[in-house]
Structure 1
Amino acid sequence: MTVDELDTRILRLLLERPRTSVREYARILGVARGTLQARLDRLERDGVITGTGPALSPAALGHPVLAFVHIEVTQGHLDEVGDALAAVPEIVEAFSITGGGDLLTRVVARDAGHLEDVIQQLISLPGVVRTRTEVALRERVPHRLLPLVESVGRSAARK
């Protein structure tokens, strides 16, 4: 999908001011509301915009501990283990990976003891061979997409 300069400006506004109305976005950008809506519809249809919900803080929900748990799985059981991970509420993301392990999960917990309980739950899943856990100490770069959006926009403008 090609993202042009207007798409980049739209995406920047969505990231910087997510609770603004479509009419206000159109006014800020100096485009017709219909033009903006058509662009938003296309960006959603093409999978660039994947959601519009709020960003939630696990820490504010009582889960300040963040860990990355690598899971090694018995061959042929990746799908079953992946499905079982979806039933563990403390797992907020899980990915199939290459390298040291088969799955990488992002796990949140109330404290170190709760994290150990979650890890023990993961180890007990059929098909899990072993886990390796890395606890995050401090977030250095928060989840962000604006620099990528701006880079893609600059690349499109040069073409």
Structure 2
Amino acid sequence: MDDLDARLLVTMRAHPRIGLTELARRLGVARGTVQARVDKLMASGVIADFGPTVDPAHAGYPILAFVWLQIAQGRLAEAVERLGTVPEILETHGTSGQHDLLCRVVARSTEHLQEIIAHILTSPAVQRTDTTIALSTQIPYRIEPLLLRQPPP
């Protein structure tokens, strides 16, 4: 990625509905250049999607929690398959350290969160959970500072 790719991505994130022609105008390059760059960034996986960013809190799920899971030895695939059936689990990451998985979970209420955790614990593959409820978001997801960072000398 070079400076033009970074500026292209930052502009696309700031203006998600921008067309290629307008993007080219703002960046001061030809439309074909923008199309080629976008295609390259898509093919390499840098651009993962063009979907809208949905705020779960505004969609009826104001509780955000992080749930750490300890998985029974040799049962990771079983646990992940089961977790994939829970719509309130937005993402799950394998981790190192004390816990095996970290899930980002949303819920309609704390009672609903408790039901979700109880459901997770019905899986024999899950031995233990540890839950932290987010009280606020201090720095929302962002990528622009990383994209615009100058490479180290």
TM range (shorter): over 0.9
1:32 aligned partner: 30
1:135 aligned partner: 133
1:124 aligned partner: 122
SS in 1 for 2:56: coil
Q: Which amino acid aligns with 1:117?
A: E
1:80 aligned partner: 78
Q: Which amino acid aligns with 2:151?
A: S
Cα distance per residue 1:78-110 (max 9 Å; x no partner): 011111111000100100101121100000001
**1:53 and 2:43 equivalent?**
no
- Once the two structures are superposed, the pairs formed by residues 103-122 of structure 1 within 5 Å of their partners are 103-122=101-120
| Alignment partners' CA distance in 1, 2:34 and 2:68 | 42
| Alignment partners' CA distance in 1, 2:94 and 2:20 | 37
| Alignment partners' CA distance in 2, 1:11 and 1:61 | 27
Alignment coverage as a number of residue pairs: 153
Runs of 4+ deviating beyond 6 Å: none
1:67 aligned partner: 65
| Alignment partners' CA distance in 2, 1:38 and 1:79 | 39
SS in 1 for 2:105: strand
Which structure has more relative contact order (CA 8 Å, sep 6+)? It is 1
SS in 2 for 1:8: helix
- Percent sequence identity over aligned pairs: 44
Cα distance per residue 1:19-77 (max 9 Å; x no partner): 10011101111111111100000011111111110000111111100100001000111
Aligned alpha-carbon RMSD (Å): 1.1
1:155 aligned partner: 151
1:16 aligned partner: 14
User: CA offset at residue 126 of structure 1?
Assistant: 2.4
Structure 1: tracts of 5 or more residues without a match: none
Structure 2: tracts of 5 or more residues without a match: none
SS in 2 for 1:138: coil
